Amino acid sequence: MAALGALLLLAAVILQIIILIKLFQNEGALKGILGLLCGLYVFIWGWMNATRLNIKNLMIIWTILIILACVVNGMTGGFSYGTMPTNTP
């Protein structure tokens, strides 16, 4: 299951890069660099401009991937391998 979570995150990062390229093309270097530093800005900008740039399907898929990755990684413990330490006497 952890591999599934990793694949979901990888797919989400690929879509983030695609939207980030659109951000650079439409808003210039300054906002593009802001998008590099803050992925949340890319996500919000993408939804605000989804209809105008005709990327609504990409944004829907990206949102679903983020939610699924959170659920799967939350259920499996994310990328933590092993067990939690326990206090045994």
Lookup: tokens for 24:
């650079």
Q: Name all contacts of 8-14 with Cβ < 8 Å and 24+ positions apart.
A: 8/65, 8/68, 8/69, 8/72, 8/73, 9/65, 9/69, 9/73, 11/65, 12/62, 12/65, 12/66, 12/69
Task: Say if 82 falls within a structural domain.
Answer: no
Task: Say if 33 falls within a structural domain.
Answer: yes
Q: What is the pLDDT of residue 89?
A: 63
Question: How many domains does the chain divide into?
Answer: 1
For 33-83, how does the pLDDT look when each residue is reduced to its tens digit (9 = 90+)? 999 999 999 999 999 999 999 999 999 999 999 999 999 988 877 666 555
Task: Say if 80 falls within a structural domain.
Answer: no
CB 35 within 8 A of CB 45: yes
Task: Say if 88 falls within a structural domain.
Answer: no
For 31-47, how does the pLDDT look when each residue is reduced to its tens digit (9 = 90+)? 999 999 999 999 999 99
Task: Say if 68 falls within a structural domain.
Answer: yes
Quote the domain boundaries for residue 30.
2-75
Confidence of residue 23 (pLDDT cuts 50, 70, 90): very high
Task: Say if 50 falls within a structural domain.
Answer: yes
